[in-house]
Amino acid sequence: MDFSILGAGCFWCFEALFLNVPGIISVEAGYTGGHIKNPSYEAVCSGSTGHAEVCKIVFDPKVITYDQILDIFWKIHNPTTLNQEGADKGTQYRSAIYYNSKEQFEIAKKSKEEHTADFDKPIVTEITKLGDYYKAEDYHQNYYNNNLENPYCQFVIRPKLEKFNTKKN
């Protein structure tokens, strides 16, 4: 097993996308990149903690590689908008890769360079050494599947999930 920590806007969206990828063992919503210990969702949303909404993706490298996870990462969000994904705005929604080893750093750097040509604007994704990581509150875990009738799930997450599943097939 290995893990990666990625920020691609709202963690509810990309958690739902990664949950159905072969080789992904688990996906956990959380926070990292800030200066406050044990932040709450409300504090992170205020923008005062420095933390980003992220997902901790535990994967089986025999089934899916870190590089393949990053290929998905580049496709599921817009890494050219600073501190924004769709209508979600703020530093907590920044595009970020938090590496946990020198190997992950090298792969992330190369992946970012390789995907630069995929976008009309420069990629603003930060590549940062992982510091303290905090699991988000329980009600954020598996949010989409637990809240299918929520308007955000219906009108934001579901279309992204349908688009992603169409591209996979």
**Which tokens sit at 119?**
């976008």
Where in the sequence is the domain holding 60, given as residue range(s)?
Answer: 2-168
Pairing between strand 126-129 and 95-99?
A: parallel
Supply the pTM of this predicted model: 0.94
Domain count, the chain: 1
Give tens-digit pLDDT for 85-103.
888 899 999 999 999 999 9
Q: pLDDT tens digits for 13-30? A: 989 999 989 999 999 999
Antiparallel, parallel or unpaired: β 24-32 and 133-135: antiparallel
Per the DSSP assignment, residues forming a β-bridge with 7 are 96
Q: Compute the distance between CA of residue 110 and CA of residue 113 in angstroms, rounded to an integer.
A: 5
Among all residues, which ones are annotated catalytic? 10
Q: Which two structure tokens, joined as six digits, stand for 5?
A: 């920590």
Percent of the chain at pLDDT exceeding 90: 88
CATH of the domain at 44: 3.30.1060.10
